[in-house]
Amino acid sequence: MADDLEEIRRKRLEQLQQQQASEQMGAGEMQASMQQEQAKAEMDAKKQALLRQILTPEARERLSTLKMSRKEMVEQLESQLIMLAQNGRLQSRIDDEKLKQLLVQLQPKKREPTIKRM
């Protein structure tokens, strides 16, 4: 009976140690994910600040509304604009008209359907 009691205590101690080890690993993973989120938020803030310098308010508004439907295309355009600005290849701020022209250039060409009758 004493041996059984000792065996139960030993198993319970092992369970508690495993539980504690898994909680510590979970806390480490949580901290890493929080750091990643914080780094992503910082990058986003820097990106938005740079876009404020590059674009006029009307152009920024157009991009934000377009981002709801064409997120990939807007992100691609934003990254291109940021690279151009960082390389010093933008002479002036981009207004709404220039932005419209850029968006038209980025849109894929639509093929006209042809119907052949036999």
The answer as to whether 12 is a domain residue is yes
The answer as to whether 47 is a domain residue is no
Number of independent structural domains in the chain: 2
Average pLDDT along the chain: 86
- The per-residue pLDDT for range 96-114, each reduced to its tens digit, is 999 999 888 888 777 888 8
- The per-residue pLDDT for range 27-60, each reduced to its tens digit, is 677 788 888 889 988 998 898 899 999 999 999 9
| Domain shared by 61 and 104, yes or no | yes
The answer as to whether 100 is a domain residue is yes
- Dihedrals phi, psi of 56, to nearest 5 degrees: -75, 165
| Domain shared by 64 and 29, yes or no | no
Rg (CA), the chain: 28
Predicted confidence at residue 118, as pLDDT, reads 81
| Domain shared by 63 and 102, yes or no | yes
Look up the domain containing 9 and give its range: 1-40
Predicted confidence at residue 1, as pLDDT, reads 63
pTM: 0.63
The answer as to whether 118 is a domain residue is no
Tokens of 41: 């938020």
